[in-house]
Amino acid sequence: MFVYSVRATTIKFFGVVCVALATLITVIAFVPDYVAGTGDVQVGAESGDETVQVISYEKVKTAEDAAKFLSQFGWEVNLSDVEEVDVTLPSSFDKILTAYNELQMRQGLNLSKYKNKAVVRYTFNVTNYPGVDGPVLANVLVYRNRVIGGDICSADITGFVTGFDGKQ
């Protein structure tokens, strides 16, 4: 005759492992878009609008890729004088960066997730911005081959700053 005894701590251990496993499976099953999103955003999907444009924020590895990203919004840029700079976002935002992040959030991006991270900033001269005499610049912020922020701005002292769509 064999006698097998099970202690209460063994039952608790296996219970905790089962609950943790069930939680992990639930998270994987119900939150796949946040973990492995495509990075694509649909633009122009208003009611009655037949055309839907998909903007891709992924696979930006070079200045040429950043220029292609801007072309999705209709911007033509000069690749011969592109500026590529490594910058580190600060760990806390002052009033200016907070206002700039609000602009990013209006276009579906958020820089606060990238505080204290090293990013690449590409700056281009926009050649087809309508109605502006002075130089217009396009800034694209990239982290790990993904666009995380940027703007279209005038280099004039009384200029403007807009999102990638150019709407002020």
List pLDDT tens digits, range 75-111: 999 999 999 999 999 999 999 999 999 999 999 999 9
**Rounded Cα distance, 85 and 82, in Å:** 10
Query: Which range has the worst mean pLDDT, 3-7, 106-110, 124-128?
Result: 3-7
Token pair recorded at residue 11? 């039952």
**Rounded Cα distance, 49 and 146, in Å:** 28
CA angle 52, 58, 60 (to 5 degrees): 120
Over the chain, what is the mean pLDDT?
83
Burial-class residue 116 by CB neighbours within 10 Å (0-12, 13-18, 19+): exposed
* Residue 134 pLDDT > 50: yes
Backbone phi and psi for residue 32, each to the nearest 5 degrees, phi listed first = -75, -30
List pLDDT tens digits, range 31-55: 543 333 445 554 554 445 556 678 8
**83 C-beta neighbours (distance < 10 Å), count:** 12
Helix H or strand E segment including 120? strand 118-126
Structure confidence at residue 41 (pLDDT)? 52
Contacting residues for 161 by C-beta, under 8 A, at least 6 apart: 100, 103, 151, 152, 153, 154
